[in-house]
Amino acid sequence: MKKAFKRTLRVSKYVIYKETLVDYKEHFWSFLGAFFGIGLIAFLQSHYLLQQENVFLIGSFGASSVLIYGAIQSPLAQPRNLVGGHVISAIVGVTVYQIVPDILWLSAPLAVAFSIILMQYTKTLHPPGGATALIAVTSPGKIADLGYWYVLSPVLSGCIILLLVALFFNNITKNRSYPTSSRWKRLLHKKHKHSLKN
């Protein structure tokens, strides 16, 4: 028992130490990815949407950016989780709002709880998805008026923009590889080789 505890302590110290090491190159690429991902969505919102439709940039995209640009090896940051988690949570949030629109103390916890369960069930757990569901039930006006269009835009379209930027910036150097799935890696590697031949 004592040996196992000491070993666990050693491993924990190593992991904590490794996680706190400063790698300026990694920070640079994380910064650029987040800057361009959120920047592109914000640019589209401020230049191509009318003032009354200005709901393309939602808060949960900021939390997603932390994962998909800053913690790219996390299982919660993978493309399936990013897109699936947000879309499922948006559907849940809008549905709950349609059923219980005026009882915030009931609709907010129902939206978040159901979105967590469905993300777990579909293996698309993405923590910012909970915020996406919450936004659907707590935001008055524009988002509430969107209904199920909220799922397509801003949620799905925003996720696709974030994902495309992540695929570019997270694979720009040899040290970064996103997503972690070997199937995706083979596909990206094959496309990279093909573009080098041309």
* 118-177: pLDDT as tens digits: 999 999 999 999 999 999 999 878 888 899 999 998 999 999 999 999 999 999 888 888
Count the residues in the chain.
198
The answer to whether the beta carbons of residues 169 and 64 sit under 8 Å apart is no
Stretch among 26-30, 133-137, 138-142, 188-192 having the lowest mean pLDDT: 188-192
Please report, for residues 3, 27, 65, 133, the alpha-carbon distance to residue 110 in angstroms, rounded to integers and kept in the order given: 45, 37, 25, 9
100's CB contacts (< 8 A; 6+ apart) are: 106, 107, 110
136's CB contacts (< 8 A; 6+ apart) are: 90, 92, 93, 94, 96, 97, 111, 143, 144, 150
Q: Which of 37, 41, 59 is nearest to 128 (CA)?
A: 59
Stretch among 60-64, 129-133, 172-176, 182-186 having the lowest mean pLDDT: 182-186
Would you tell me how many other CB atoms lie within 10 Å of the CB of residue 174?
A: 6
More confident residue, 22 or 171: 171
Q: Which of 98, 67, 88, 63 is nearest to 156 (CA)?
A: 88
Stretch among 13-17, 24-28, 112-116 having the lowest mean pLDDT: 13-17
Cα–Cα dist 166/168, whole Å: 5
